[in-house]
Amino acid sequence: MKNTESEKPVFDPVDGLPVMKVGEWSELKHIALSRYVDSARGARARWGYTSFIDLFCGPGRVINRETKEMLDGGVLAAWKMSARGQGPFSQVFIGDLDGDAVDACERRLVAANAPVRSFVGSAIQTIDKVMAQLPRGLHFAYLDPFSIEQLDFELIRKLSSQRHIDILIHFSVMDVQRNIGGDFKLSSSRLDAAAPGWRDALKLDALPKREHVGAYLEYWESLVVELARMRVSANKPLFVNANRGPLYRLIHLSRHELPQKLWSDAALPKSTQQRLPF
């Protein structure tokens, strides 16, 4: 089948490397990430070793489908922000299922003077390799999967084995909303990996449809507390599309008060946060 114009790969004319097509809301996500990295530099400066982990790194640069503007992706934006002053990350770990994307991202990070280690494979395949290389230190993991299906809870459980770590997660509300009703009575579901046991734990038949997504998220949060022994920030900004349909939430996990406060205060201006429209 011949590729359409929208399916053709796009390359950054500056470095000749591929970029990933994204919606306009992606920029706000990366702004939130960068603001948090900036706000936490004082905490990082007190540690001898700090790391940034992105197991869904993509090529490191993105292009807005509508405006055609090219911008740094999450890991590149985070590294550059950390390197602006005190507390740059000691090590950046990246991984992705797409080997070409990993290569492009690594080359861009190296060009930005980042100390980077890269891995090719799905996040659930590369997580153990990354964890084996983490010394004692202060760690920050950014989980930005394409879908809720890729947000395997094992990723959170394994990352949480590090005592001093916080995690920022792209949690796809849209995927849950689309699939929860139809998948509830199936033998397997696209929502199982992210929240194991959700169909046994939730009584969706007794809830109004508008409460299904909230019930799933509440159950997922209970797993974070019980199995990962981490706290879920009360500040969970919701990103919406042009029609105000819910896309995803950014959810921050940590064990200590300081990162929770930094996320709440610095991650996003209050004016950009939305409430669930259902």
- Mean pLDDT in the chain? 92
Give the pLDDT of residue 276: 32
Report all structural domains of the chain as residue ranges with CATH numbers, in order of start.
Answer: 1-144 (3.90.190), 173-268 (no CATH)
Give the pLDDT of residue 101: 98
Q: How many residues does the chain have?
A: 278
Does this model's pTM top 0.85? My answer is yes
> What does the pLDDT look like over 103-112, one tens digit per residue?
999 999 999 9
Q: How far apart are CA 259 and CA 140, in angstroms?
A: 10
Q: How far apart are CA 91 and CA 47, in angstroms?
A: 13
> What does the pLDDT look like over 232-277, one tens digit per residue?
999 999 988 878 889 999 999 999 999 999 999 877 555 444 433 3
The alpha carbon of 101 is separated from its chain's Cα centroid by a whole number of angstroms, namely 17
Q: How far apart are CA 266 and CA 13, in angstroms?
A: 33
Give the pLDDT of residue 224: 98
Give the pLDDT of residue 269: 54
> In the predicted model, is pLDDT for residue 74 greater than 80?
yes
> What does the pLDDT look like over 156-174, one tens digit per residue?
999 999 999 999 999 999 9
Give the pLDDT of residue 268: 59
Please answer whether residues 241 and 205 qualify as being in contact, where contact means their C-beta atoms are separated by less than 8 angstroms.
Answer: no
